[in-house]
Structure formats: C-alpha cells, structure tokens
A and B are shown apart, each in its own frame.
Chain A
Amino acid sequence: MATNKGDINDGGAESFLTLGPDNSVTVRYHPDFGPHSDLILLEVPDDSVLNDLLRGRVTIRGQFDEDAVLCTPSSTYAMKFVGTSNSVFLIPPGKPNLSDPQPNPLVSVLKLAPGNVELVLTAPRLDKLRFLLMQRLYKIDEEDEEDCSSEGLYTWHDLICSIQASDEELREGLKFLSAVEINGFWRIVHPKSVNMILTMVLTNSVLHDWSLDALVEEEVLSVLESDGFNTTIVKHCLETFGTKNENDNSKLWGLDKKRIAVHFAKQVLGSNGGKMRLEIFIEKWMRNVQKGTPFDLNMLEGEVLYETIGAETWIKAFSVADLPLTPDARFSVLFKECAKWAWKDLEPYVRDLRVPGISSEGLLIKYTRRVQPNADAEPIFSAR
C-alpha cells in the first residue's frame, strides 16, 4: 500500500485540534501505522527559518563523514536529534474517515515519533575553504604550463557541496581569502603573482602619470593586458588594494595606501615565521613603500609580532588571516606561539572570532586564563 504520505488527508488532525467542549473523538492506530522512519520532525527556531523552509530556500550540506548542517541563504545550523521518552503520536492532516461505523469522529495516529531534530545556529565551517583553495594557487603564467587538469580546482557548485556554510557566508569567506573566480574556478592568487601585478600597476602609474587616488579602470586593464596580464586578475588586484569610486561614466579606483604598505611589509618579512631585526625591517620597508605614505607600525597590528632577543627587538610575520577560524584551534595556535599575551597584543588576533551565542568576553572566559596582579596592572592571558 504505497500511499504518498504527502497525500494522506484522513488522519483527522483538523477534528483533533478543533475538538470543543462536550465533544469527543476516538483515537486509533491508522491502518498504515508503522515506524515510517522516512518521516522526520524538525523543530524550527524562528519565523525567518520557517519562511525559508516553506519557500524552498533551505539545503542540507556536508560530506558523509561530517555532521550535516542545514543552510538558509544566510545562516548555518547544526542539526541535533533530540530523543524523547514520552509517547509522541503523530496525527496526519485532514478530516477523518466518516464512512466508519464509529459513532465518534475518528482520529488516526500514523507514527510514534522517537524525537525531533533541533537546529542550533552555528558558525560556518570555513577552515576547509582555505585548505581547498590553497591546493592550487593561481600563478600568472599557469596557462602556459602543461598541466591543464582541473584537479584541485573548485567551482562554486563544488564548494557548495564541500563546505558547510550558507551561500552568503561562503561568499564572505571567499572575500576574506581574497579569492577570485577565473574560468569558473575559485582561486587564491599566489603571493608572488599578487606582488608582480601590484608592482606593475604602481610602476605603470609612475610611467603614465596616473593618480593612485583615481586610476581609470579601462586604462589600467588595457595597459596591463598588453603586457600579458589576465584582466580578471588585474581587476582583482584593484579590488584587493583599492576602492571603486563610480563617478560619471568611467570607473575610477582609489588605491588604499595602508593596504599597500601592509602588503610590502609582508613581502619584506616573507611568510609566517619570517623575522628580522626591527631596524633592518623598517629600512627595507621604507624603500618599498611609495614616498609620501604616512606609515607606522600600528598599521601592522594583526600581521606581526615583536620579540626581544638580547638587547634587540625583532619583528616577525604572524598574520591573523592565516590562523584557524574556530576558537579552540585559534587559541591553541596563539598560545603555542606565545604562552602569555597582554590584551593589547592579543586583541587583533581574536577580534574576528565569531561564535553564535557567545560574546567575545565569553570566548576569553572559555578559552583563556586571565591573570591581573592588581587593578593597575595590565591583564595577562594564557592557556586554560
């Protein structure tokens, strides 16, 4: 008896719910009563999620070895099955079967529900995104290379199937990584290539007397294209280091001096772990950054750490953008790098942490031990 359960309308839920005083109904097991393990009860936390569900805007994402998450267009929820020891009798909709010889309306129970699935708002699981996109960094001359396979390359659809995040959170994640879509694949550009293109833009600005506050998009793209650079990548460079200023008809870009200064600081230091004496760093940095840029070391917060070795101060690359996104992994890495942190040093490395339902103070309480010798002393944070 393969009845389509969407069509069951003889359960009598209506009579059950509208039962009024001095009336009664008979409750029985539906002729199709059984485990019906294909029927699941889902608790909906609020009207916004309910709306998304009823409009078919919800998907379930994850690999088979992961816990499934439910995604609305903008949010991610962990799915947790909660059992009950009560007997929860499920009554399908509709008017009861009136042709029955029973004197009372008949309400039929289709299934005994063992519990329901609860939705818990959760941070999107984006660490995997960086891992996937780092597999094949985009290099400028890669089209010339022999290897044309798409292994290790991911389209938007591939990412949706692999990453447990809503569409909106996935896009934010891609933006955070400065990823760009090239030939349908989302890529992170190799730092050396980023540097090459930025340097070309800056060099050409001097050559052609372009104003860095008002670069004309078409002009920049066409000049660099004639030098052999992919326009998508050049445009991405403008987006990474500048802000668009849409004025009249021509698209103008203003480059952000601070973002450029930070970029060259990282070039000087090399990747995470690269370190040198502070004076040497400053000297090299000043050589790279354009004249007239008012730069100061405060621009580098969240990008560098300082160490005192003997009588010297050393500076070391340590970028928050390279650290894990989940709080427990983040704090673990931070305390492995340095056992004790003053708040002013720690803050840039934790300010981006977001966990639904926990404030930043809550995160500190959960993952750190705070020591403050007296009211005037600065608090020091260490591992729990």
Chain B
Amino acid sequence: MEIKVKCNCGVENCSEWAILELQGVVESQPSIANQIQGLEIGRLCCSSSSSQVNYTFTVGYHELSGTKVSLKKPLLVLKKNKQEEGSVSNNEVDLEVIGIIRHKILFKNRPKAIISRPQVKDKKASD
C-alpha cells in the first residue's frame, strides 16, 4: 500500500504551531474531571535579565521557569484523514502536513511552590 503525504501549504506557507513543554503532569480538580475545554491552565510571563530571556509559567500554586528552545530537528504536524466513500484511491487513510514546529518553550526546572496566593488573584481581588 502507498499513502501519499500531501502538503497544501508548500515550502513558504507552512503554518507555524508551537509547543509548551514541561516535566510532569497538569491535573485538574476531581470535580472538573474531563470537562476542561476552555479552562485556564496558567499564566505565561516573559522577563529578561542580562542577555537571557526567561519565561515563567504559573500554574495554580506552582511557578515554573524555562527558556525558549529552537528545535534542532523541526517537527511537522501531520493529520490522518479517513478517506471518504467512493474516493479515487483505495487506501483507507491519507496524511497531510498541516503545520510545522520550530520552537518550543521548555520548562525543565523544579517548580517553585508559591506560598501565598498567586499574584493574579491578588490583583483581581484588589480591583
């Protein structure tokens, strides 16, 4: 069987996707279970010190620090399409390139626990 890998975007127009990567697992409260669509995960901030650009990701009571990394080997986002009935090829599936990822923001340091309530909520409370 031969499956063609299609690409409608071409070399110039490939949409750029991104990755936020952290060590560990983000969990939601048991009461929310799987209804997490649309819910906030956290706040991502950027700061620079001397020559370095740092990122801080605050999730709940944890603060993670990380950096932006350029991928030595880019990742392509491929989508598997099920063939419609009566299509020309008799494969069941085809593949399409729908995006490229060249950079990610990576958090690999241990999270710092924020003892007091997160800054964001404080600010809101004082509004």
Chain A residues proximal to chain B, CB less than 8 Å: 5-6, 9, 11, 13-14, 16-17, 19-34, 38-46, 50-51, 53-56, 58-64, 70, 85-94, 104, 107, 109, 113, 116, 160-161
Q: Which residues of A contact B36 (CB under 8 A)?
A: 29, 33
List 10 tightest A-B contacts by C-beta distance, closest first.
A13-B18, A93-B15, A24-B45, A21-B48, A60-B3, A38-B80, A91-B18, A89-B20, A58-B5, A6-B98
Q: Which residues of B contact A24 (CB under 8 A)?
A: 43-46
Q: Which residues of B contact A11 (CB under 8 A)?
A: 17-18
- Complex Cα–Cα for A2 and B82 (A): 14
Q: How far is the CB of B89 from chain A (nearest CB, A)?
A: 11
Contact B19 A5 (CB under 8 A): no
Q: How far is the CB of B26 from chain A (nearest CB, A)?
A: 6
Return 23 A-B CB contacts under 8 Å, by A number.
A11-B18, A13-B18, A21-B53, A26-B40, A31-B37, A33-B36, A39-B78, A40-B80, A42-B76, A42-B78, A43-B73, A53-B5, A54-B10, A60-B2, A60-B95, A70-B5, A86-B22, A87-B23, A88-B21, A91-B20, A107-B44, A109-B20, A116-B75
Q: Which residues of B contact A9 (CB under 8 A)?
A: 15
Contact B75 A54 (CB under 8 A): no
Contact A5 B7 (CB under 8 A): no
Q: How far is the CB of A297 from chain B (nearest CB, A)?
A: 46
Contact B16 A14 (CB under 8 A): yes
User: Given that A27-B42, A31-B37, A55-B11 are known contacts, is A43 also in contact with B75, CB under 8 Å in the complex?
Assistant: yes
- The one of B16, B40, B46, B73 in contact with A45, judged by C-beta atoms closer than 8 angstroms, is B73
Contact A16 B20 (CB under 8 A): yes
Where chain A touches its partner, the secondary structure class is mixed
Chain B residues proximal to chain A, CB less than 8 Å: 1-11, 14-26, 36-48, 53, 55, 57, 68, 73-81, 95-99, 101, 103, 105
Complex: chain A residue closest to B123, CB-CB: A103
Q: How far is the CB of A305 from chain B (nearest CB, A)?
A: 40
Contact A86 B18 (CB under 8 A): no
Contact A56 B99 (CB under 8 A): no
Q: How far is the CB of B127 from chain A (nearest CB, A)?
A: 10
Q: How far is the CB of A13 from chain B (nearest CB, A)?
A: 4
- Complex Cα–Cα for A14 and B18 (A): 8
Q: Which residues of A contact B97 (CB under 8 A)?
A: 53-54
Contact B16 A31 (CB under 8 A): no
Q: Which residues of B contact A20 (CB under 8 A)?
A: 46
Contact B39 A28 (CB under 8 A): yes
Complex: chain A residue closest to B59, CB-CB: A27
- The one of B2, B22, B38 in contact with A31, judged by C-beta atoms closer than 8 angstroms, is B38
- Complex Cα–Cα for A259 and B16 (A): 56
Contact A27 B103 (CB under 8 A): no
- Beyond contacts A24-B45, A28-B39, A161-B2: 6 other A-B pairs, Cβ-Cβ < 8 A, are A29-B37, A33-B36, A50-B76, A70-B5, A89-B41, A113-B19
Q: Which residues of A contact B16 (CB under 8 A)?
A: 13-14, 17, 93
Contact B21 A87 (CB under 8 A): yes
- Complex Cα–Cα for A109 and B1 (A): 34
Q: Which residues of B contact A56 (CB under 8 A)?
A: 4-7
- Select the residue from B8, B40, B101, B105 with max chain A CB neighbours within 10 A: B101
Contact B20 A62 (CB under 8 A): no
Q: How far is the CB of B105 from chain A (nearest CB, A)?
A: 7
Q: Which residues of A contact B68 (CB under 8 A)?
A: 17
Q: Which residues of B contact A54 (CB under 8 A)?
A: 7, 9-11, 14, 97
Q: Which residues of A contact B15 (CB under 8 A)?
A: 9, 92-94
- The one of B6, B17, B98 in contact with A13, judged by C-beta atoms closer than 8 angstroms, is B17
Q: How far is the CB of A5 from chain B (nearest CB, A)?
A: 6
- Complex Cα–Cα for A113 and B101 (A): 13
User: Given that A27-B42, A28-B39, A90-B17 are known contacts, is A17 also in contact with B79, CB under 8 Å in the complex?
Assistant: no
